[in-house]
Structure 1
Amino acid sequence: MLKVGVLGCGTIARVRHLLEYDNNKEVEIAAVCDIVEERAEEMAKLYGAKAFTDYRDVLENKEIDVISICLPNYLHASVTIAALNAGKHVLCEKPMATSKDEAEAMIAAGKLNEKKLMIAHNQRFVASHQKAKEIIESGKLGKIYSFSTTFGHPGPEEWSIDGAESWFFNKDQAFIGAMGDLGVHKADLMRYLLGDFSEVGAFIETNAKQNTDVDDNAVCILRTESGIIGTLTASWAYVTGGDNSTIIYGENGTLRLEADPVYSLIEEYRDGTIINHQLEKIQTNEEGGQSNSSIIDYFVTSILENTEPPIPGEEGMKSLEVILAAIESQETRQIVSLK
């Protein structure tokens, strides 16, 4: 049985990592760590683990096989590298790093130590997204022309354990705002569905939140290597509700993903045919949205079977590069090439 240590006991650890490790029969939650001692103690009691306030103490524990990193973005690279160098397999939250150099160093550490590194881009495993990929690859839509994908909600103060005081609003800790929280998810999803991007343009603003200089609204224009063009938006400016939808426009029809309250995927075709799919709901950080994201199960299986994780560091880096290119585009007012 694999023994896991979860670093960070905030919302993402509580609604994703800890719950899903606990539900996996191949895993024992052996350690939890948070700089707020009360949070670590609370999760330790709940899952029968040992509580720590210094992640280095967890890494020094020879019995720990696996580390989940649920820490602020600026710590992802350094703690991942330390964990890999300590001989642990690592599942790291997104965005995997704050620069390409950091991402490359993480990947190199995994290879050097012959340990698994996976990035927690859970959108790939949403039922509607996997069904859409199947439809696209079947050729049923014909040539894909365009897409629009959106991820927006009122902001981390609505669900983060620290509310309005969350590290998400601290640029030194978060690096980027809505683009790192939401945009990188959709960049990864569209790469999964349509292939890698070649060019990125963006308008990125901080215009909805007070007392922060991280972005809270972004609109990106993207072109894939195969010539598909589309838009990606990320926002913390919603007054109520949220939107995690994607629309894909093809030669023969349109796919609407997570764009309807009942049907997770709708196929609409030129001849008038409409096919509605009522699939498992997409996960959220809200109460009742805590269905299994499959991230933990895939990661554990890759370790036990010694196979490559479905979202290795190289994939996480490619999705990060889209966001880094968007930031560069905003700064330079130029279209940025990813080639």
Structure 2
Amino acid sequence: MSKVRVAVIGCGSISKYRHIPEYAANPNVELVAFVDPVIERAQQFAEQHGGKAFADYETMLAEVKPDAVSVCTPNALHASMSIAAAKAGAHVLVEKPMAVSDAEAEAMIQAAEDNGVKLMVGHNQRLMPPHVKAKQILESGVLGKVLTFRTSFGHPGPDAWSVDGANSWFFRKEEALMGAMGDLGVHKSDLIRWMLNDEVAEIGAFVGTLHKEGTQVDDNASCILRMKSGAIGTLVASWTYYKGEDNSTILWCENGVMKIGTHPDDQVIVELRNGTVEKHKVGAISTNEKQESSGVIDAFVDSIVNGTTPAISGEEGRASLKVILCAFESQETGKFITVNA
């Protein structure tokens, strides 16, 4: 069959380190266009991988008519670009958070449906080997029911990661709308929903800007969650873990505890009440310093090639976004918020 012709919209760090190299490594893909308002960035990738460079995505969609696009732009642009791409007949892989409001997320899902294209959200944490292993262990039943949990994602912030450093769009409220919660918190709301096969019923949150200067977006959030199953736990997102990244989850269950991402070599540790300890070396979780293949690109391309439903659908992205939006509402109102009320 002919290759999937892919355009990448937005040529910042997430494209540079994840999307572009992973598309380039996929035998079913031809990279045909790169879009960035800083045209030199797009040109650099076009020279490297072939394809055309554009400063404007609408011109690209009309001229190139790609089969699929990756939307790797500031959060506030995700919805408009994804909807335009869907209307142009392209499958869409959008970075997280998929949108900045529930109405936007709904409109994106509808646009994909109306135009017969796939919509996938780049929640890569589901595909990281330690998380896949942890879900398998949970589903085996050996730990029994999850009673309580804590899940945390923190690093020193986008100033260390973004191509624009401290001048990054991540810090501009009108482009990002949300900070650490949109960057890291939504990864964790997605992970906990997926791993526990459960939905967040209620959330209370402190969300604020504690240390990053010259920005109105949040750099820290601490949330308390009650799941539909009754399990309770905490979710933390931070851009001020200056001594290194933490992406860990601990689940306390009826029959023991499972620790994920707490140890550099034993990525999943299961300690049962009967004294048994199992340690699993299953491959690392990707960090900003050390990029592992995310699996997201391959899963997206597979769904196009095989005509299957994307691994992380628009509906899933919407449900995970909703949790984060409710956390902001909790901060604003000082109340616990019922999710999906």
TM-score normalized by structure 2?
0.97
Residue 290 of structure 1: how far off its partner (Å): 2.2
Residue 63 of structure 1: how far off its partner (Å): 4.2
Residue 47 of structure 1: how far off its partner (Å): 1.1
Moved over 4 A (4+): none
Distance 1:299 1:6 in 2: 13
Distance 1:167 1:240 in 2: 23
| Corresponding position of 1:197 | 200
Distance 2:23 2:92 in 1: 13
**1:243 matched to 2:237:** no
| Corresponding position of 1:15 | 17
User: Which deviates further from its counterpart, 73-82 or 62-71?
Assistant: 62-71
User: Which deviates further from its counterpart, 84-93 or 51-60?
Assistant: 51-60
Contact (CA 8 Å) 2:74, 2:170: kept in 1 or not?
A: yes
Contact (CA 8 Å) 1:145, 1:229: kept in 2 or not?
A: yes
Residue 45 of structure 1: how far off its partner (Å): 1.1
**1:97 matched to 2:93:** no
User: Which deviates further from its counterpart, 264-273 or 321-330?
Assistant: 264-273
Distance 1:124 1:103 in 2: 20
| Corresponding position of 1:259 | 262
**1:121 matched to 2:123:** yes
Given residue 276 of structure 1, which amino acid in structure 2 is its aligned partner?
K
User: Which residues of 2 match residues 23-102 of structure 1 at below 5 A?
Assistant: 23-102=25-104
Contact (CA 8 Å) 2:209, 2:218: kept in 1 or not?
A: yes
Distance 2:242 2:133 in 1: 31
| Corresponding position of 1:335 | 336
Structure 1 runs not aligned, ≥5 long: none
Given residue 7 of structure 1, which amino acid in structure 2 is its aligned partner?
I
Matched position secondary structure for 1:71: coil
Cα distance per residue 1:265-298 (max 9 Å; x no partner)? 1111111111111111111222xx2221110111
Given residue 56 of structure 1, which amino acid in structure 2 is its aligned partner?
E
Distance 2:228 2:173 in 1: 32
| Corresponding position of 2:272 | 269
Distance 2:116 2:228 in 1: 32
Distance 2:171 2:268 in 1: 33
User: Which residues of 2 match residues 208-219 of structure 1 at below 5 A?
Assistant: 208-219=211-222
Distance 1:132 1:261 in 2: 16
| Corresponding position of 1:303 | 304
RMSD value over aligned CA atoms?
0.8
| Corresponding position of 1:112 | 114
Cα distance per residue 1:208-247 (max 9 Å; x no partner)? 1000010001000001111110000000112221100000
Select 1:231's aligned residue among 231, 234, 238: 234
Structure 2 runs not aligned, ≥5 long: none
Cα distance per residue 1:22-61 (max 9 Å; x no partner)? 1110001110111111111111111122111111122113
Contact (CA 8 Å) 1:12, 1:285: kept in 2 or not?
A: no
Select 1:187's aligned residue among 171, 186, 189: 189
Given residue 269 of structure 1, which amino acid in structure 2 is its aligned partner?
L
Q: Matched residues, percent identical?
A: 54
Given residue 60 of structure 2, which amino acid in structure 1 is its aligned partner?
V
Contact (CA 8 Å) 1:10, 1:70: kept in 2 or not?
A: yes
Distance 2:33 2:288 in 1: 23
Matched position secondary structure for 2:335: coil
Distance 1:305 1:294 in 2: 16
Residue 127 of structure 1: how far off its partner (Å): 0.6
| Corresponding position of 1:153 | 155
